Amino acid sequence: MFCDVLPTIVDVDVTAEHVQKVANSLSGGAGVSAIDAAQWKNLLLKHGGASANLRESMAALTRRLANSIVDWDDIRALKAKKLVALDKCPGVRPIGIGDVADRLCAKVMIFITGDDVQFECLADQICSGIKSGIEGSIHAFRSLYEELSIEGYGLLLMDASNAFNSISRAAAIWNTRIYWSRCSRYVFNSYRGYAVLFIAGSQVTLLSKEGVTQGDPLAMLVYGIGILPLTRKLKDPEKWKQNWYADDSACLAKLLLLKEWLAALMEEGPKFGYYPEPDKSYLVVHPDYIEPAQEIFKDLKINIVTGRKFLGGFIGSADDVADWFEQKVERWVKSVIKISNAASTNPHTACTAFTKSLQC
């Protein structure tokens, strides 16, 4: 992102009260220190004066990271993470579980400065935390598709290759300096060095050298800011309507214009560390336009469908929506049966699994 005049960096005033408010909502497992969020929450809130001193110490640490440039050797241990691999079906998603102390500092910065990202991104990048952004996108694009699909419009849902780990880290840090200046020094300190990633049960460690670490509370916002110039470069309301949620991009337009948008994305995307994968992407069209779509996109191997999941909802024909609901219900029933069986011997664990996971 080119910038003639850099925004002035304003120091962030982090107080123990900020830490206390964030501590009330701490959750998640332990990082390399083996102290989980529940234990940290107890230490921060349940021990009177000692907890007050700890909250002030955490506020001082966050202030230092937010308002000055810190030598990497001083925070290398703080930024170390436990690495786990999630099955993406297919593929693997590497998740870095940072220590709770590090996650606490990051969440405090988001609590104080996160609104800056929302005001900058607005609807151009809804992973900024904009309220009801996902729901609004689902309803808007569903309505547009239902109205225009009969006229030959399609909805292109793009997938990218390991986007969070592929985005240019240097570009993301620079864009943060321009678009999220109050948090830019904190982001610089967090990503200026190579975080050590520990693998459970192994003596081998990896270094996080590129992209942002999934599992880091900052990752979503830094990624959204880092990719923002790309989303704005492709923006053209006269030709198409596009939607971005982090690396999940979508575009609604007539078929030939969709191919033009995709060509621009494939040309400009790699400059930002965004590598589209057409063979893993889907084009949703009206049943009457399947053959024209196959002809137009035959050289790209895009999957042509009449319905597909979009963010947390579904867009497509009535039959596809019904099939999707049926599959969701079947999965729900199977999960309830499994938890019911487990409840006969482990009722408390089953209740936790139901209320914390399945019910959500």
pLDDT in tens, 134-147: 889 999 999 999 99
**37/69 same-domain check:** yes
The answer as to whether 4 is a domain residue is no
Residue 89 confidence (pLDDT): 66
Q: How many degrees, rounded to 5, is the angle at CA 13 between CA 8 and CA 17?
A: 155
pLDDT tens by residue, 107-136: 999 999 999 999 999 889 999 888 888 889
The confidence score (pLDDT) of residue 91 equals 67
Claim to verify: residue 201 and residue 312 sit in the same structural domain:
yes
251 plus 333 within the same structural domain: no
Same structural domain, 242 and 303: yes
d(CA 120, CA 118): 5
Count of structural domains, the chain:
2
- pLDDT tens string 56-97: 999 999 999 999 999 999 999 999 998 887 776 666 667 888
CB neighbours of residue 202 within 10 Å: 8
Digit-coded pLDDT (tens) for 234-243: 999 999 999 9
Residue 238 lies in a domain: yes
Residues 327 and 228 in one domain: no
Are the beta carbons of 224 and 246 closer than 8 angstroms?
Answer: yes
Closest to 157 in 3D by CA, of 141, 177, 172, 140:
141
- On the question of pLDDT at 99 being above 70, the answer is yes
SS3 316: strand
Question: Band of the pLDDT at 318, cuts 50, 70, 90?
Answer: confident
Model pLDDT, residue 162:
79
Residues 184 and 211 in one domain: yes
Distance from C-alpha of 108 to C-alpha of 22, rounded to nearest angstrom:
6
**Higher pLDDT, residue 307 or 1:** 307
Q: Does residue 2 carry a pLDDT above 70?
A: no
Beta-bridge partner residues of 87: 92
Domain assignment present for 66: yes
pLDDT in tens, 260-294: 999 999 999 998 889 999 988 999 999 999 999 99
Is pLDDT larger for residue 19 or for residue 202? 19
Of the ranges 6-15, 26-35, 52-61, 304-313, which is most confident? 52-61
Residue 341 sits in the same domain as residue 238: no
Between the CA atoms of 298, 301, 302 and 307, what dihedral angle is there, to the nearest 10 degrees?
A: 90
Place of tokens 């999965």: 331
- Same domain, yes or no: 111 and 132: yes
Assess whether pLDDT exceeds 90 at residue 156. yes
- Which alpha helices (DSSP H) does the chain contain, by range? 16-23, 37-45, 48-67, 72-75, 100-121, 133-148, 163-166, 169-179, 181-191, 219-234, 255-268, 290-296, 318-343, 347-353
Domain span holding position 331 = 323-358
- What 8-state DSSP symbol labels residue 6? P
Asked if residue 231 and residue 147 are part of one domain, the reply reads yes
Share above pLDDT 70 across residues of the chain, in percent, rounded to a whole number: 98
Query: Tokens 């547009």 map to which residue?
Result: 144
- Tell me: do 257 and 343 sit in the same domain: no
Residues 37, 167, single domain; the answer is yes
Same domain? For 66 and 171 the reply is yes
Q: Does residue 109 contact residue 189 with C-beta atoms inside 8 Å? A: no
pLDDT band at 322 (very low <50, low <70, confident <90, very high): confident
pLDDT tens profile 165-213: 888 899 899 999 999 999 999 999 999 999 998 887 778 888 888 888 8
**Cα–Cα distance measured from residue 119 to residue 115, given in angstroms and rounded to the nearest whole number:** 6
Locus of tokens 């992973």: 127
Cα angle for residues 8, 104, 60 (degrees, 5° grid): 60
Higher pLDDT, 242 or 7: 242
